[in-house]
Amino acid sequence: MECKFRDAKQYWGLEDCMNVTPTGVTTAAHRSWFMVKVAYRLRADVQPYEPASSILDLKADWRGYKYVEETRKMLPEKPEPMLLAKMRNRVAGLGRIHAAQPALSFS
């Protein structure tokens, strides 16, 4: 149980949740369990084709995708789907610890 809370604190900053009431402690504990379970499930989906990936790599991927989507909303025209996929892969890979294998071939 301590291991799961350590993971939650490391990956989602839950050490900032200073709870002193029973309800606050229960809420933080449930949030920790939920976030760790979701992350491990997502990691299990990625593991077969990226065995070295970590939870921090998942966070970098999602953050990169979010940045590309927010940038795309500011563009006057929507880019071609292949260009958008290439942008997502490149930006998402910037924060990764373990380099991802390219999902699409653009050659």
pLDDT digits (tens, 9 = 90+) for 35-49: 778 888 888 888 888
Cα–Cα distance, 5 to 51 (Å, whole number): 24
Range in 27-31, 65-69, 90-94 the model is least confident about: 27-31
Confidence class for position 106, pLDDT limits 50, 70, 90: very low
Sign, CA torsion 29/11/103/76: positive
Under 8 Å between Cβ of 103 and 89: yes
